[in-house]
Amino acid sequence: MITFDQAQALLAAAVTPLGIEELAIGEAAGRVLAEDVHAALPSPRRDVSSMDGYALRLADAAVSSTLALVGESFAGGALPPPVGPGQAVRIFTGAAVPQGADVVIIQENCEAGPGQVTIERAFGSGRNIRSMAGDFAAGDLLLPKGRRLDPLAMVTLAAADRAQAMVFNRPRVAVIATGDELAAPGTARDHPLAIPESVSFGIAAMIGEHGGAIVHRATGGDSLPALEAAAGEALGLADLVVITGGASVGERDFAKAMFAPHGLDLVFAKVAIKPGKPVWLGRAQGKWVLGLPGNPTSAMVTARLFLVPLLAVLQGQRGDALLDWTDLPLGTDLPPGGERETFVRMMASPRGLVPLGNQDSGVQGALSSAQWLVRRAIAAGAARAGETVPALRF
């Protein structure tokens, strides 16, 4: 068995990004940039007003001053006339500041009359002008390669005046759940020895959340010939096959064996962690195969620790960037660590992180309450309430 860090290093060294494609901006949300994005123009493109009011020279901006109105300036409209001594331009938010003006007095401090405006009230020291290129200049780097185009990044992409973006291909993922005991949710009640197949739904949700596209889902029993056929079908459709269950050493644990006829080459076969020791990674027919334990908690923990980084690397990101451990305080004592590195499922509380009451790998009822994974080293000493521990958002 290898350590968690060794397994992560092997994953990072073996996996490379998929190809790239160009998408229209309207289709690019959620994808990962395969290029740096630079601004095509400055923002703002010229000095603009940040308020509705009157643009004038600061030298003329005195309470009780009356100035002649010589024009108007609207956002997106024609350039306003220049402002000279004793003159002002009616201006609106986002509109171009006229030449000669260096302050905008907000309309609440002014009284307008026919062809003129009077500054009635004190207006403070603010100029209410957004300077040209005050946000960014033409050519500035706005989004780096490897940035996922989340909602905020989409705003920046559009602000760069980009109609298209080069992005990494979305990983096509197949999910196979194995086990004779599994039944589709809603039908298990009709079979006395059946249990609802639950894990694949959590795995599929995690895949979608991290940029993958589910292209195939299947549930297989414990027949090796049937599973071999299922493996071949999945490999023909996907860039990555995720299989749950059948990862231990029982008589019907066929997760690796079902890929053997397809040329399975293992990257690692077991990892010294708890839960999730049977997790494995390999390659078959040029496609990636990630084997997860069948127990629900073990499957979801190992998916967070290995599937999420794997999806990230396939999309041109650094896998370890998504294993962003942060030191958080404990709200209760933790016992010493064991013979394997342990990932304790925790909840946030006002006093700090506290463990779920049931840490069994088969737990499902309490799983939805888990918010953090706390990493406990092999043979770690007992940790006391108030101490900080490395934690990962689950």
pLDDT recorded at residue 250: 60
Cα–Cα distances in angstroms (integers) from residue 298 to residues 20, 206, 275, 317, in the given order? 33, 14, 5, 25
User: 117, 128, 143: which is closest to 31 by C-alpha?
Assistant: 143
- Asked if the domains at 4-16+170-322 and 25-41+138-168 fall in one CATH topology, the answer is no
List of residues 6+ apart from 218 with CB closer than 8 A: 174, 175, 176, 177, 230, 233, 234
**Residue 187: which residues within 8 A CB-CB, separation 6 or more?**
194
Residue range 4-16+170-322, CATH number: 3.40.980.10
Cα 78 versus chain centre, distance: 41
pLDDT of 136: 98
CA angle 87, 88, 89 (to 5 degrees): 140
CA distance 244 to 386: 37
pLDDT given for residue 268 in this prediction: 97
Q: What is the pLDDT of residue 248?
A: 64
- Predicted pLDDT at 360: 85
The pLDDT of residue 359 is 85
pLDDT of residue 221: 83
First to last CA, the chain: 24
CATH topology of domain 48-130: Molybdopterin biosynthesis moeA protein; domain 3 (2.170.190)
Q: What is the mean pLDDT of each run of 10 residues along the chain (394 residues)?
A: 96 97 98 98 97 98 97 96 98 98 98 97 95 98 97 98 98 95 90 91 97 95 92 98 81 87 97 96 98 95 98 96 96 95 96 92 87 96 97 97
The superfamily CATH assigns to domain 326-393 is: MoeA, C-terminal, domain IV (2.40.340.10)
Instruction: Say what the pLDDT of residue 365 is.
Output: 86
CA count, 13 A, side-chain hemisphere, 204: 14
| Architecture of the 25-41+138-168 domain | Alpha-Beta Complex (3.90)
What tokens were used for 123?
């207006």
pLDDT of residue 251: 62
Which residue ranges make up each domain of the chain? 4-16+170-322, 25-41+138-168, 48-130, 326-393
